[in-house]
Each structure stands twice: as C-alpha cells, then as structure tokens.
Amino acid sequence: MPSADGPGTESIAMVDFAKTRSGTANVPAPPQETTGLRRRFSIRRAWTHHREQTINDRNRLGSARPNVESDELYRQRRRSSAVDMEMVAELLEKDHLDTDTHGISEIRDGWFDAVYLKQRPLDYQRLMRHAESTLPAAFAKDPPLSLQHFLPKQRRQLRSVFFKVMTTRSGVRLFKASLAFFIAYCLCLVPQVREWLGRYNYIMVVSVIINHPARPMGPQLDGTILTILGTISGLAWGVIGLILSYSTVDARTGYGAILALFFSIFIACAAYIRAYWTRFYQFSISAGIAMCYSCLAEVNGEQVRYIKFWSYGIPWILGQAISLVVNLAFLPDAGSRALAETLHEAFLIMQDALEIPRPRNVLLRRSLARVFVAVGVAYRDLRLDVSFTRYNPVEVRELRNLIQGVIRSILLLKTETRLFERWDLPEAGIVPVTVTAFETIATDVDGSTEASSGDTKTMPEDDEDALLRLVALKLAAPTEDMLLHMRSVIRSCDAALMDMSGYRSALGPPKDEAYDVDQAKNLLRKAIDDFDQADQELQLSGVLPDTLRIKEVSNVLVFAHHIRGAAGSIDTLGVHVSDMKQSAGRPKFYLPTYSLHKAINYANAQIRRDRGGVSASNVKMTFDDITTLIEAIQSKEHRPAPRSRKSSISGATTPPERSPTTMEAEEMPKPESKHSKFGYQIWRILHRLQGFESKYALKVCMLTALLAIPAWLEKSRSWWNLEESWWAVVMAWVMVHPRIGGNMQDLLMRALCVTLGAVWAGVAYAARNGNPYFMAVFALIYMLPMLYRFTQSSHPRSGIAGCLSFSVISLALVTADEHQSAARMAATRGLAFLVGTVSAVMINWILWPFVSRHELRKALSSMLFFQSVLYRGVLSKYVYYEEQKQPTKQDIERSEMLEGRLREGFVRIRQLLIMTRHELRLRSPFDPLPYSALADACEKFFEHLIAVRQAALNYDPGYVRDNDAAAEKLLSYRRDAVACILSNLYILAGALKTDRKVPRYLPSAAVARKRLLDRMAEIEAEELAAQKMHVTSTGLHVSLASNGKWAQVYGFAFNESLTGCVAQLEELERYTKLIVGEQGFDDDFRDDDSDTSDKEEDERIPHHK
C-alpha cells in the first residue's frame, strides 16, 4: 500500500460540511477512530472492489459496440481535456502533479476528498503591484483629506462648476431653483404678504427648498403631492396630541409627557418609513417638519392656538404652488432627457469597446458595466413618474434588454487576439503533408458525409503559425467587416434615438452626419452572411484536423464566434430601434407603470440626490435585490439514492438500483401547516424589526426627543418659544441620514455652511436695517452657490443646511419686533441650527455608525457567497443536468437577470472602495490595495462563470449524461472538483463576514480538477481501446459531424473558463488572507509570551484592515 502522503501532498482528508467522520479510502484514518486491524480490513476491501471492477470493465470492453468512432477521429474529442490539463498544470508545482490514488476510491454521498498542498512562497511585492492596477480611477486623484491639495482642488472645482453652469443643462436647473426661491423670498419681504401669512411666513421659502423645481415634470408632481400629504399628516397628528394634552386638568399637569409620547411615536414611524421606503422620502421629511412645528412651536401648556396651523399650512401650499408653476412654465423637462443622456453615453462606450484589436482595458470594461447598470436605472426612472415623451415605456423596456444583451456580449470578448495580424505567405522550407479523406471527412450542412479517396488537402503539420494563418486568411476579413458595420449600426441607433428624444442638437451625434439605421442594418446582415459562409467553408474544408492541440487557434476561433454573437445582438437592436423610429409619433403623456411593490422601494434620480448618501443607499438596495433573487431559487436538500453494494464479508447483495449520475438534488416539499406558516410570518416580522430601519428609527427618536425636552419644561418654555429653538430639532431630523452619517470633512462643511448662513443673514439685515432690496440682493448672492450645492453637487446636506439657515434667520429678522437685537437673534437662531446639525452627525458616529471599510468587507463577503450560489446554479442547470431537463428560455433569462444584478454589485463595491478615501482612521491609513484586488479577482471569477454558461449552451459534453457508466465513474471526481470550490468560497466568505482569520491550508481546487481530468483521460482511453477493437473486427468508420469541431472549440472555452475559476480562487485566497489574516494550526495554544518569538512566522502574510 503506497503512502497516503504522496508527492506534492502534505495530507489528504475527507471533509464533510455537516459533520466530521473518518474515511476508509485515500487517507489514513485518525487513530482515535480506526484501529490498525480495521484499517487493514478497509484497505483489503477497497483493493478487492477495485480488482472486481477492473475485471468487469475488461469484460465490457470486449463486447461489440454500435456507432463507434475511428481512432484518429476519436482523439479529436479528447484534445479539450489534454489542453485543459496543461492549463491546470500551470497552477500546480512540479511536485504537486502526482495525484494517483493507486486505484483506491470511494463514492459517498455528502462527502468529498480534500487535498491540502504545501503553500507556495508569497511574493508580497508582486501582489501589491498587481493590486495597484485594479484600483478605481478615482484613486488617481489627489487625496480628499489632504490639506496640501485642498485649495488647488477647490479652484479646480469652481472652474468646473462655472463651466457646467454656463454650457450644460446644469445652468437651467440652477436657474429654475433660484427663480422659485427668489419669488417666494421676495413675497415674504413684502409687508402686506408677510402680515397675511403670519409670523412663520418663511415656511413658504422652506417649502420651495424642500421640493425645488430643478427636477423633471413627473417627479415635481409626485413631490408636490407627497409633501402636501406629509404636511397634513404631521399637522393632524400634532393637533390630536395637543387636544389630548389639554383635554383635562390632569392632562394639563402632565401635558409635556403626553406631547413627548405623541411626538416620539410619530417621529419614529416617520423615520422608519423614511428608511424603509425611499419613495416616501419627501412625505416623511415634510411630515417630520410639520410634527416638530405642531408639538414644539408656541407650546404654552394652557390652550391650543389653532391659528398657528394656518400660519404653517398656507405658506407650505403656496411654496409648493410656486415650485410647480416654475417647473412647468420655464424650460420644462418632460422626463426623457435623463434617459436620452444615458442611452447616448452607452452607445458611445459600446463604440469604443468595439475598437478591436486592442489590449485589455480595465477602465473600459468597468465603463461598460457602469452603463449596463445606468441603462436599467434610467428605464426605471422613466416608469416611476409621469412623463411626456415620444419614448414608449414598453418599447424602452425591450430596448434596455437589448442594450444590456449587447454589452453582455461585448464583455465576453477577449480583445487581445491574433486574428488580425499580418500573416506572410508560408516559407518554402515548410514541408506539406497530405490529409486523406479517411482522416478528414467533409460533411454537408444536413449532416450527410462526403468522402472521396482522391480529395487531398495539404497543410503544415502541427505548425501553430501555419494553422493561425489558415484561420486568419479565412475569417479575418469577414470578422473585420462585421466589426466595422457593428459600429455603424450602433452610431445609427444612437442618432435615431436622439432624434426621437429631441436632444440630438444638445447631446449628439452631429446633425450634419447622416445615419440610416435600415441601411446600416442591411450592411451588417450582409457582413454576417459573409462570415457565416466563410465559417462554413472553414468547417467543411478539412484543414483543421488537430485544432484543439493549439491553444492560440482555439482562442481565435472562439473570439470570432463571440464577435458573431455580438453582431447578432446588435442586429436585433437595430431592428428594434428601427421599429421604434417608425412607430414614434407626437409626444404623449405616460402615467407611472412600474409595479407598486417595486415603485415604493425606489426613488427618482433627484430624490436620490437630495436625500444624500447615494453610494451607500445604492449598495444596500443592490445587495437586497441580489438577496431577493437568490432566495427566489428554491433551496434543495440532497437525498442520496441507494446504490448496489457488494459486501466483501458475506457476499450478500442488495437489490441493484440506478445510481444518480448528475448533481441534481431533490426538492423538499414545503410545510403545509397553517400554524407553521403563521409562526414563520411572525418570525419574519420580528427579524425584520432587527434591521437597520428600526435602529435608525430608535436613533432618530432618541435624538429629537432629547433635543425637544426644553419645549416641555416650564422653566425653559419662554426662551424656547422666543428664540424659535425648535429649529434645532428640525435640523437634526433633516440632517440625520438612514445609512451614512458623514465624516469629519462633512461635519466641518455642514457646520461652516450653517454658521455662514446665520452670519450672512445678520449682515444682510444690518446693511440697511432690513431694507427689502438689500435683503434680496444678499439672498441672491448667497443662495446661488448654496442651491447648486444642494440640488446638483454630491454633498446636498451641507447645501440644504446653508439654505435653511439663511432663509429662516434672515426672514425671522425681518418679521421680528424692532426692540429685539438683530445680532442676538442671528446668534441664538444660528446656534440652534448648529446644534441640530452637529448632533445629527455625532449620533450617527456613536450609534450604529456606517464605516465604509467595514461595509466593504461585508459586501465582499456577500459577493463571494453569491458567487458560490451562481457557480452551483450554472453547473446544475447548464452542465450536470439530467436528461430531458435542458436549460429553458426562462432559466436563461433568470440567469441573465441574476448576472446583471451581480454586475451591478461589483459597481457598488467599487463605489464603497472610493468612499473609504474620505474616512479618517486613527490607527493607521487604510490600505485599499488588497480589497481592490480581491474585488477584481471576484469579478474575474464571475466573468469565467458567465463564459462557462455561454459555452455550455453550445457545448454538450456527452460523456456526462449519455454514458451512464462513464458518468458514474466521474461522479465522485466531479463532486470533489465542485465541492472544493464551494467549500473555499464558503470559508472565505465566512472569514470576511466575521473578520476571522482564514485557515492556513484550504482544499486544493487545482488538484481536484486535475484528478477529474486524469480520470476523464483514463475513461476515454478505455473507450478508445474498445472502439479500436471494434473497428479492427468490423472495419466500420464513423465520422464526427462537421459541427462537432465547433463543439470542440466551445468545449475548449468551457474547460478554459472552469480552469480560470480555479486560478481566480487562488487569488481570492491570497488577498482574503491579506485582509483578515491567516490562522495557523497552533495559534489558539500559543502563550502571550511566545508572540515575539513567532513574530517572523506571523508576519509571513501581512494583515491589512
């Protein structure tokens, strides 16, 4: 019996996900569970089983088989495994290649054989150099927290803002927001209007700011309705609380407690709605402001002053009316401009991506992924609100799907190809060989064979350049022609869609360039026909007898067929755009058509910007969507089927049953008990209450209630009402964000804007003792940059803080009595705004803070787990499926939907990575390199899985399903190969989620794959021997079909992608260990005193957090 510790393996162990048990094959069992006698008996039984199996195999090989292949043609079917084995060998060191088990094997359900290899030396510098190349483009900019670059950065941003305002649509949006604000502000400066509106006339300006008109028509209508309804609900709840608190003598004694209770209940509910349903952001924010006003402003503990609700409600409605009129009357955006801009950008990036050949461009691929997501978001925004456009939302939905399909096909392309190289004529010294009809039999399209003993083909044998030249001469010209017309169709579609939107003059392409979609589409179809003809001629020519022995030739053929697939997608896109152009008439009104359960969870683009924290909110929304899709896949429990087993002791046999040869599992029936369903629903509700929405509601309730305590105390009531300190609670409510609180830079900027607004209001009033003309001029000077910062910059909360501070304080100074000191009023009110703003940031730092680097680590953990689910689904649905269970169109659509969400997840992860640049870290600067490299490796693993799925649709490995005996022999090896990858992904995902170290030794997926390939080669050799015997006895020769060669090409891509998954898994392991550390065997038993002595060993892999 050979030693279990063979060359290249430190140990071989049996691993079970559910429990630990010793095995009887492959490895020496643990001494505490297996004695020497039992071990010898187990080995003897394994050898007996192996000898009997060998005899049975020889008996089967001796029998005649129908429909066999010739020796030469059958070898072509094996070359995919041979080439793939070479790629696997590159992942293993020379002493790791011996995976012979000496005929001992065991098939056990729920187990897999794990091989642990000695780790290679870690080249830390090489890893970091590679990691630097994976960083997002934003890391090339100056550090945002650097004081040295602060002033130059501000100068560049000012120039950029000025250019955008003067030359783009940003100027129009700023004009509309400023005009609405200026109208409301000037009305409040008119004495008659101010007296009619009352003390709180500035609420009209606040209403304009909250629902500013710098947004499309549909969102403006939606915001008007929601803010009015929110205001009504807040005032109504406040009235009920005031009435109950003043209803009886005892209630008046404890009115403060009653108001606090009513206030806390309402503000907690409004906060939960604000966090859970982003669609109702404007409703919740206006309801919270109204509630603060009702329960905190002019509260005297004696009677309800109903006039104050008039003083709030009427100005609010007037402010909404001003915003709505300005939005509709001045250069209205009917709702399609954002979609047109996104489509134009997508078409430009697709044109750039089709400039082939070129080196692999990571930034361009990331741009494709970004517009892949942006097109879907733009379509969703179109359907969320009312629109007036020539774009039919139903047609736009199909357009979105087709554009994403084109992007998906472009991302499959490997742009570093040798197809378009200049190939010289063959040298005279090359000796041609003759390929007879026996070796290569041409096949017609219908599958009939044609062979003539006189037909011969000459070609240089096993010469890579010669084979590449043959392929290039046949396919390079039609492929290049296809690429040319593909770009032409994309340009024509871009021009047609921009003409439909009416923004071609503003966005492009230039109108003097004529693009005809139908003409470009016809030229593309002609190019596709030429390629198909050349492709067919190449298949039938018989010049590729040994194609798969050469990796470069297979890569070129796969690349050409991927171009053909992308051309088909673009042709379908051109047909749809042409139909849209022909059916487009006059612009029409389209009501919201998005499904209700989805519409309440999404907000339009301007609301997302006004709400702030766009990146953090998008991350949560995207990963929630992915989780929902993952949960929609029914969980399945594996039920092992009984096998025929022969006992080596008594010779008794069990009735033989068919063993499963696929990796499908039986679906467990769901419980039908109503009681269990009811209990599950209760559990879901209680579990949901543990989410961040409840934490946010509790946080907001605590913050606002603590700030509002002086309003309900007798001693502090007078100064509270006099100084209108309830604005501190309002600012805290407005500034506290459900997801992200802000960093030190945000705190300083918001405090600066609030302070500057108060000071500017005092200066404006003191300039001419409240002269309305001077006040209007000062307001215009100050509010222009603040409104731009609120409505269009990436820092809206500092902008809204400055807008509210100046508007409320300046108009309060105008409305106040003359005997009150303007400086004191500006200082006290400014202090109230500052306290509310700062407290909102501080509580987000203290209670459940949002830390980008922690969220990044958890997002990477989730993505690794999602990759495991996708890997399992691809293999079960597209590779190891049972007979008559081929993937359906619905399966493909669901897979593409999940892949689209995962692609969006990688975009969000890069946004999180960029956010880490804005966070201070006291211990040491945060190192983004291992995180970026881990995300890049995970994305490459994802791309390999997509390539596996695409190749599996064209490649049908017959030995997996058609031959039950071969499939049975491969089952345990396939199990080991799949389980090794899944176990590694689970371990790495768990380590990242819990921030625990990764075990030093993990199951080697490369060895498991090599063992699978070795076993496949053995089985194919056995079948080849049987076929040679049958050919010798009968003289029968059966050729592979002509399209079998292209099946081999796709098989090469299939195997190469699976091997790429194994390679990327090693990268995932390396960078995960760099992030969370590495767990050794004796780490838990080391004394604290021995840490210094083991410092060199511990620092073998640096730890980055």
pLDDT at 113: 77
Looking at the structure, do residues 381 and 523 belong to the same domain, yes or no?
Answer: yes
Going by pLDDT thresholds of 50, 70 and 90, the confidence category of residue 664 is very low
pLDDT at 402: 96
Please give the residue range of the domain that contains residue 747: 723-739+741-849
Looking at the structure, do residues 350 and 415 belong to the same domain, yes or no?
Answer: yes
At which of 332, 362, 392 does a domain end?
332
At which of 587, 603, 619 does a domain end?
603
Q: In this predicted model, what pLDDT tens digit does every residue of 63-100 receive, in sequence order?
A: 333 333 344 444 444 444 444 555 555 566 554 555 55
Q: In this predicted model, what pLDDT tens digit does every residue of 156-214 receive, in sequence order?
A: 888 888 888 888 889 999 999 999 999 999 999 999 999 999 889 999 999 999 999 99
For the purposes of burial, counting CB atoms within 10 Å of the CB of 107, is it exposed (0-12), middle (13-18) or buried (19 or more)? Answer: middle
Looking at the structure, do residues 558 and 457 belong to the same domain, yes or no?
Answer: yes
pLDDT at 732 over 90: yes
Looking at the structure, do residues 279 and 368 belong to the same domain, yes or no?
Answer: no
Looking at the structure, do residues 290 and 347 belong to the same domain, yes or no?
Answer: no
Looking at the structure, do residues 502 and 376 belong to the same domain, yes or no?
Answer: yes
Residue 641 lies in a domain: no
pLDDT at 940 over 90: yes
Which range among 57-66, 82-91, 211-220, 883-892 shows the weakest confidence by mean pLDDT?
57-66
pLDDT at 733 over 90: yes
pLDDT at 828 over 70: yes
pLDDT at 1101 over 70: no
pLDDT at 30 over 50: no
pLDDT at 829 over 60: yes
pLDDT at 303 over 80: no
pLDDT at 93: 57
Structural domains counted in the chain: 4
pLDDT at 252: 79
User: What's the whole-number mean pLDDT along residues 25-35?
Assistant: 37
For the purposes of burial, counting CB atoms within 10 Å of the CB of 184, is it exposed (0-12), middle (13-18) or buried (19 or more)? Answer: buried
* Helices and strands in the chain: count of H runs, count of E runs: 38, 10
Q: How far apart are the first and last CA of the chain?
A: 47
Looking at the structure, do residues 350 and 290 belong to the same domain, yes or no?
Answer: no
Share of the chain above pLDDT 70, in %: 76
Which range among 395-404, 533-542, 1064-1073 shows the weakest confidence by mean pLDDT?
533-542
Closest CA to 112 of 970, 978, 961, 1013: 978
Looking at the structure, do residues 278 and 304 belong to the same domain, yes or no?
Answer: yes
At which of 814, 849, 884 does a domain end?
849
| Selected residue with higher pLDDT from 683 and 761 | 761
Residue 132 lies in a domain: no
Residue 70 lies in a domain: no
Residue 445 lies in a domain: yes
pLDDT at 642: 46
pLDDT at 105 over 70: no
pLDDT at 102: 54
Average pLDDT, the chain: 79
Q: In this predicted model, what pLDDT tens digit does every residue of 2-26 receive, in sequence order?
A: 333 333 333 333 333 333 333 333 3
**Alpha-carbon distances of 1071 from 100, 142, 909, 937, 1064, rounded to whole Å:** 31, 26, 16, 9, 11
pLDDT at 1024: 73
Residue 73 lies in a domain: no
Q: What span, in angstroms and rounded, lies between the C-alpha atoms of 940 and 1071?
A: 14
Please tell me the pTM assigned to this model. Answer: 0.82
Looking at the structure, do residues 377 and 321 belong to the same domain, yes or no?
Answer: no
pLDDT at 434 over 60: no
pLDDT at 106: 54
Residue 635 lies in a domain: no
Q: In this predicted model, what pLDDT tens digit does every residue of 954-1010 receive, in sequence order?
A: 766 555 556 677 778 888 888 888 999 999 999 999 999 999 999 999 998 888 888
Q: What share of the chain is helix, strand, coil (3-state, %, to 5)?
A: 65, 5, 30
pLDDT at 918 over 80: yes
User: What's the whole-number mean pLDDT along residues 631-646?
Assistant: 51
Residue 327 lies in a domain: yes
Residue 938 lies in a domain: no
Sign of torsion, CA 450 453 455 457? Answer: positive
Answer yes or no: are the C-beta atoms of 11 and 118 closer than 8 Å.
Answer: no
Cβ neighbour number for residue 846 with a 10 Å cutoff: 10
**Alpha-carbon distances of 765 from 193, 307, 677, 773, 814, rounded to whole Å:** 19, 28, 65, 11, 8
pLDDT at 451 over 60: no
pLDDT at 280 over 80: yes
pLDDT at 1082: 58
Greatest mean pLDDT range, 295-304, 532-541, 667-676, 880-889? 532-541
pLDDT at 445 over 50: no
Looking at the structure, do residues 371 and 507 belong to the same domain, yes or no?
Answer: yes
Looking at the structure, do residues 282 and 313 belong to the same domain, yes or no?
Answer: yes
The CATH number assigned to the domain holding 455 equals 1.20.58.220
Looking at the structure, do residues 325 and 411 belong to the same domain, yes or no?
Answer: no
pLDDT at 540: 80
pLDDT at 1091: 43
